[in-house]
Structure 1
Amino acid sequence: MTSEKPLPAQQKRTTNQQIPLQSQQKKTTKQPLPKIHAIVSMPLLTKKDLQTEQYRTSTIEEIEERMSEYVTGLQNTLNHECVHRVHFLYNESNVVDYVKAHVKINTTKLVFNRVEDPLHQATYFDFAYKKLQGEIVMYTNIDVYPGEGFELINKDGLISKKLMYTLTRHGKQEKNCDMSKTNITCDRKGYVGSHDSYIFVPDGPLSPQIRKALNFRSVVFGQENVMIHTFRNLGHFKVTNPCKVLFVYHIHCSNLRDSTRSRINTSANTGRAPPTDTLK
C-alpha cells in the first residue's frame, strides 16, 4: 500500500476549510441574458427631399450620411447580445428594400411589419401592446443603439414595479465625429429633459386615454416629455431614467435636420426624469 506524501503546511487540506466568496460566485450559474424586443422605424431620404421644406437647405452628401447613420444605428442594435428581435415598422416597401440592401449581419433578428403610419407615436405602443405582450420592449430612435448594462435588466422587476425606463443618450467616438462632445447626454451636469429610448413590458391593453395623448408625430420636439407625463399619470408607470446604468448611444454626425419640426409639450404635459444610477 502506498502512502500519500504530506502536503506543505500552507497546502494542507482541512475539513472546515472555507471556499473563498469569489470562488463561490464563480461557481454560481450565470444569469441568462434578457430577451429584448426593439421597435424601430426610419424614413427613406433621397435627393428628392432636397425639394421639400424640411431639407431645402441641405445637401445630397448630408442626406447620404444621414442614411448611413440610420443603417449603422440599426446594425448596432441588431448586433447587441441582449436584443432578441428588431421589429422594423414601415408603410413603404422601398425602405424595406433599402434596409435589406445595406444591413448584412444578424438579419435573422430583423422582422418587418407593415403599419399605417410608422411615424405616428401611438403606432409604436399599439404594436407593442398588441404583438409583444409580456416581453421586454425597447422602443428607440433608429440612430440610437444599446450599449453597456442591458444584461442587468430584469423582466420580473419591470412587471412587478410597473417600471418604464426612459433613457437619456450617451455619446462616444463614431466614424465621422465624437458624439461625446454634444451637450445633450446623460453625462451632462445639467439635465435638459432629453430622452431617446424607452424600455417596458406591455401588460394588458393600451388604454384609449394613452392612445389619444400620443396622437402626434414622433419627430416633434418635446414628444418624450409628453410620453413621460402620459405614462406616469395615465398609465401609472414608475418612469425613471437609469442612463447611468443602461447606456444608449446616439449617432448624428451629419448636419441634416428637419427645419420644420415644431414643439408640442407645454407646462401642462411635460414630464421629467433626471438621470439615476439605479434600476429600481
Structure 2
Amino acid sequence: MMLKPSVGKMCVRIWLEVGHACEPRRSANGRALALDWRVWVRGVSGRDISGFVHKVVFYLRPASAFVYPKRVLQEPPYEVQESGCASIDIPIHVYLKYTTKPTRIRLRYNLQIENNTVISSESRCVYYDLKNPPEELCEALMSSGGEVVARAAKRLVVVLSDEERTTMKPKKYKFIEPMLCKHVPRRRARALDESCPKCGESITADLRKQLRATAMSEDEINCVSRLYLAYTSYEKSVDALVLPPLSDPIYRVPEIPAALRKALEAGDSDYPVL
C-alpha cells in the first residue's frame, strides 16, 4: 500500500532516462550509406511516465538540416528517429500535466557521433525535484516511481552510469592512518611531537612518509601533519569534549533566507548538458 504524502509540504523527485542509439544503414554490398539514430526520453527501469508527462518536444539543430526540426510527442514512446553523420545538440522540453501554468523540465542532449560505421548506444539517468506539486500531479508522480525527498535540488542532476563511474579517475588523496613507531605500545596515547625513548624518532614519523607517497606537496604534508597530531593529542586529553553524533541537528545545513530562495527560484538556469 502506497502512503500518500501531505500535499503542499513536500518535494517529489522524479527520474528520467535520456539516451540514444545509432546503427549504420548499409547498401547491398555492405557499404555504410548513412547512420540511423534515435534519441529518447523514458522512465527509468521501464516505468511508464505518461501519467505525468503532457508532451515531450525535441528541437533538432541546425533547423535547416531537417525537414521538421521541431518534434512534438504527446504519447509514448517519446523518441525521435533520424539519420545523419554529424554530432548535434538536441534541446528537449518535458512538459508536465496537472499544472496551472506550463511546467517543463529542460534538457539538452549531446548526440556524439564519432564513427558512422559502427553500432553505438548511450543513456543517462537524471532526476528532477518538484516542490509542492498539485494533488493530481503528486499522485501521478508517485504512481510512476516518484519519491518524496526532504529538500529540492536547485538544478537538474545528472547521474553517471555504472560504466562511467568505473572509468573515472580515483581521488588523488585518501585517508591515511599513520603507522606508529614499532617500539611504542599500541594503546599508548600519542602526544604532539612525542619521541620514542629507544630510537629517538617521532612516534608518528612515518606519517610524513605515507603522505609523501600520495604525491602531496611539502606544504600540504606539513599542514596535514600538524592538524592530525593536534587533533589526536586533544582527543586523548582529559579535557577533550565529546562530539555529538552525526544525527545531531547541529550538523544540518541552515535554511536559505526567504528572500534569497525567491531570487534563486525566479532565476532561469542553463540547460544541463547530457
TM-score over 0.5 for the pair: no
Larger Rg, first or second structure (1 or 2): 2
* TM-score, normalised via structure 2 length: 0.28
Bigger proportion of residues as helix? 1
Indicate the structure with greater strand content. Answer: 2
Under a length normalisation based on structure 1, what TM-score does the superposition of the two structures give?
Answer: 0.27
